[in-house]
Amino acid sequence: MSTRPNLPPLRLHVPEPKYRPGDEADFGDIAIPAAGATPRPAVDAAPAAFHDLAYGLVRVLDDDGRAIGPWDPKLSPDTLRGILRAMAKTRAFDERMYRAQRQGKTSFYMKCTGEEAIACAQAYALHRDDMCFPSYRQQGLLIARDWPLIDMMNQIYSNKGDRLGGKQLPIMYSTREGSFFSISGNLATQLPQAVGWAMASAIKGDTRIASTWCGEGSTAEGDFHSACTFASVYRAPVILNVVNNQWAISSYSGFAGAEATTFAARAIGYGIAGLRVDGNDALAVYAATEWAAERARTNQGPTLIEFFTYRAEGHSTSDDPSAYRSAQEREKWPLGDPISRLKQHLIGLGEWDEERQAAMDLDVANEVKAAQKESEKNGILGHGMHQPMSTMFYDVFETLPWHLEEQKQDMLAEAKAAGIETS
Amino acid sequence: MARMNMIQAINSALDVLMDRDPDIVVMGEDVGYFGGVFRATAGLQAKYGKTRVFDTPISELGIIGVAVGMGAYGLRPVPEIQFADYIYPAFDQLVSEAARLRYRSAGEFTAPITVRSPFGGGIFGGQTHSQSPEGIFTHVSGLKTVIPSTPYDAKGLLIAAIEDNDPVIFFEPKRIYNGPFSGHYDRPAKNWSQHPDGEVPEDYYRIELGKARVVRRGADLTILAYGTMVHVAAGVIEEQGIDAELIDLRTLLPLDIETIEESVKKTGRCMVIHEATRTSGFGAELSALVQERCFYHLEAPVERVTGYDTPYPHSLEWAYFPGPVRIGEAIKKIMKD
Ligand SMILES: Cc1ncc(C[n+]2csc(CCOP(=O)(O)OP(=O)(O)O)c2C)c(N)n1
């Protein structure tokens, strides 16, 4: 250690969120550009032209719910209602599955409350066969694509109907048919995989693109860097979405670098188009995704989109956010709630009203409830064995090698000797 | 038939398969235009084009992550990791992703990738060009691990590995790329052109994964080895004039347990040789399996001759390497009991 008297001692900066439990949250200092203020570049614009977009915020809906500016995707009222319904259904699904976990029917659940616009509006902007590489908080993709809720619930309950045979933690869905890649517990691994899938699509001269999602916390993983590098180098037809919901469990976004820059701005250094978007504005989400998809589809390369949003609830059923953040943040969040904002917009267009909203809410709640009832007929976690014990050995490899066959036989013999039911 | 060294045999395997299957892509650091730092992919880009054989950024994580995504799409990627010592940045993608994709998606998505990587010591590679990390991968359920020891096997096994629908780690013992190695580093090196296993068919053939090769029949001792150590062991057996049965495992996982069991039950003695460090190395698994399955036939404890539990040294390479002296002494010891 050197302590030269003529030099000040060095100090380590450790980020600290502005508000902790008990604090009065105030987001007044967050710069929120007015709706319609951010320009919309041509889909073939050079990556270097995205500086303002990477530090700005693409917004379409203003405070009164009007759609303004160049990013207005001019969707039909039917499409708007479809997105609204998908968001409402996602929220209802989350509520019910959260409760199911609390009732001990399964081990774990994660909500996406406040972030519904991202997955739901994006599902509408992508083609049904574009491949999605999601994180665990894009259940809205499946719901917006009308994937059967029962199938999702079967997975959550690890029951007899679970296509994944009870092998995966709840919410780690997978469906090839639904173009929804198997979710992994390891953060950010899906990012380079999505780039690889997109490269493969380009190698084969396909027309499908890939899209992938991670939280802002996960951008600190090396996979994010590798994905951006490969996407840029090979101009892969991929959309890299960063869902900046401010929190990674208890760590605020400052620990992923948010104090110094935006996540969209990361794109600039990689030579990738970068957009920063109001993640609670379904129209802006749709428009940015449609733009990025067209860019990818026309061989103009990848786009990195940061969705600025707020994780309105706990990280998961294992988390209590009151232990690390101000309880009021959710109410004070300046970008509001995505469902209320789209609802207000539709009402303003004369295409919706409170009664229809109430009826829709009831309808999706009933749909979710009915699906739950149906799914629970296949069993819930912990109530008996839903898969024959031997199935745990299958799908490690395409065929069962001798050592797994032997372990399987040993297990069955031991269970039999102990009088345990094996299937 | 043609005369090939191991590099040429690997090149030939890639060539033969790429010609048959348009979904095979080869990628890695320097593998494209240049043809690889060991020349294993020489000429392939010129023949199959830049979208099937291409250079990548220097990111092992990226190479394997991208390959997993390509595999999920339906391609059959053959990524190269320049040295096995540099596979660790990709470890998460291999262990958490490639190895588990089939399992966690109940077969919906798979990772039919073959990761080629030069491994092993004996070339004054020091700490980061000599490692033998196979035991780290055999510990991972969902991965297959293959190590050839001759040009003939290298081609046949690589073809089988690429055609396999599971992820395969294919470690190439770079010490014997050009010729077999007896472990006598002070003697002139031999070339594969003087060895019968340097005869390699020019077209397609495959050697099933999971089948060991009995290099030499014998009655008094079973020696289990793979990669470079097969040749070192063969040299010592000859020098000592003992009647040992030498088994080249070829595939570590799935392992050819039948061949091992049959041999040890016949000889009553078993020695395991590998370059990798000892503790928790693959030799420990082999030793345990032999002990469990051949206990009543064993006339002596299973002997392990391995690298020491240190990082791979540079100047003391020949003291570290399990060469003829160390193997010779171990044979004397095991035969005494
Ligand atoms: C490689 C890895 N490290 C740590 C974890 C544990 N973990 C699960 S979620 C999470 C926070 C992720 O935060 P973020 O990326 O911001 O996504 P969010 O949960 O906010 O959607 C952590 C640390 C993990 N799953 N994988």
- pLDDT tens track for A32-90: 999 999 999 999 999 888 999 999 999 999 999 999 999 999 999 999 999 999 999 99
Mutate to test the pocket of ligand 1, among A115, A218, A308 (most ligand atoms within 8 A of CB): A218
Question: Are A196 and B67 a contacting pair at CB < 8 A?
Answer: yes
The minimum CA-CA distance between A169 and chain B, rounded to whole Å, is 9
- Tokens representing residue A61 in the block: 């809906």
Question: Are A397 and B56 a contacting pair at CB < 8 A?
Answer: no
Instruction: List all residues of chain B from 228 to 287 with a beta carbon under 8 Å from chain A.
Output: 253-255, 257
Average pLDDT over chain B reads 97
Which residue of chain B is at minimal alpha-carbon distance from A229? Answer: B57
**What is the number of the ligand 1 atom nearest to the C-alpha of A243?**
21
Does A129 lie at the interface with B, CB-CB under 8 angstroms? no
Give the residues of chain A that fall short of pLDDT 70.
none
Contacts of A414 (CB under 8 A, 6+ apart): none
pLDDT at A72 (0 to 100): 98
Which among B196, B206, B212 is positioned nearest to B150, based on CA atoms?
A: B196
pLDDT at A3 (0 to 100): 83
Does A205 lie at the interface with B, CB-CB under 8 angstroms? no
Per CATH, the homologous superfamily of domain B2-200 is Thiamin diphosphate (ThDP)-binding fold, Pyr/PP domains (3.40.50.970)
- Residues counted in chain B: 337
Domain boundaries, chain B: 2-200, 213-335
pLDDT at A423 (0 to 100): 86
Distance CA B270, CA B301 (A): 8
With a cut of 0.90, is the ipTM above it? yes
- Tokens representing residue B284 in the block: 């420990």
Which among B116, B139, B222 is positioned nearest to A403, based on CA atoms?
A: B139
| Rounded to 5°, angle at Cα A88 from A86 and A89 | 65
Does A189 lie at the interface with B, CB-CB under 8 angstroms? yes
Q: Are A259 and A267 in contact (CB under 8 A)?
A: no
Question: Are A395 and B103 a contacting pair at CB < 8 A?
Answer: yes
pLDDT-based confidence at B305, cuts 50/70/90?
very high
Q: Report CA-CA distances (Å) from A239 to A282, B288, B334.
A: 17, 49, 62
Q: Are B35 and B42 in contact (CB under 8 A)?
A: yes
DSSP letter (8 states) at residue A386:
S
Give chain B positions within 8 Å (CB) of A163.
106, 108
Q: Report CA-CA distances (Å) from B184 to A293, B187, B224.
A: 61, 6, 20
Q: Which residue, judged by its Cα, is nearest atom 21 of ligand 1?
A: A215
Q: Are A143 and A87 in contact (CB under 8 A)?
A: no
DSSP states of A355-371 as a string? Answer: HHHHHHHHHHHHHHHHH
Distance CA A314, CA B13 (A): 53
Query: Would strands B114-119 and B168-173 be described as parallel, antiparallel, or unpaired?
Result: parallel
DSSP letter (8 states) at residue A67:
B
Distance CA A411, CA A408 (A): 5
Say which amino acid occupies A206: D
Which among A121, A154, A78 is positioned nearest to A381, based on CA atoms?
A: A154
Which residue of chain B is at minimal alpha-carbon distance from A172? Answer: B104
Query: Right CATH number for B213-335 from 3.40.50.300, 3.40.50.920, 2.60.40.10, 3.30.360.10?
Result: 3.40.50.920
Q: Report residue B246: phi and psi, to 5°.
A: -105, 125
CA–centroid distance for A69 within its chain:
26
pLDDT at A327 (0 to 100): 92
pLDDT tens profile B81-95: 999 999 999 999 999
pLDDT at B180 (0 to 100): 97
Distance from the alpha carbon of residue B105 to the mean position of ligand 1, in angstroms: 20
Does A391 lie at the interface with B, CB-CB under 8 angstroms? no
Topology match between the domains B2-200 and B213-335: yes
Is B337's pLDDT higher than 80?
no
